[in-house]
């Protein structure tokens, strides 16, 4: 066996999030169905997008898969 080091390769992944308007309390709640337990909320769509990014990054970090760079995150 060799002592070869792994070669990091960056890939782009698209993850779908579902955003729900919260009529009674205002703002939005959101979930990422592909990441069980990944939920967030925000007062505006921009805030919920930012919070979705943070929630997905935290979920991936907790799963041990690393976190994507903010430079590669693309909001819909």
Nearest to 33 by CA among 23, 22, 20: 20
- Would you say 28 and 22 are in contact if contact means Cβ atoms under 8 Å apart? yes
Show pLDDT as tens, one digit a residue, over the chain (76 residues): 578 898 988 888 889 999 999 999 999 999 999 999 999 999 999 999 999 999 998 998 888 755 555 545 555 5
d(CA 24, CA 36): 25
CB atoms within 10 A of CB 27: 15
Length of the chain: 76
């Amino acid at each position: 066996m060799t002592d070869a080091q792994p070669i990091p390769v960056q890939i782009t992944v698209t993850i779908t999030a579902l955003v729900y308007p919260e009529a009674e309390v205002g703002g939005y709640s959101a979930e990422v169905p592909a990441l069980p337990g990944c939920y967030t909320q925000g007062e505006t769509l921009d805030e919920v997008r930012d919070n979705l990014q943070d929630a997905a990054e935290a979920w991936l970090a907790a799963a041990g898969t690393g976190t994507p760079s903010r430079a590669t995150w693309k909001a819909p």
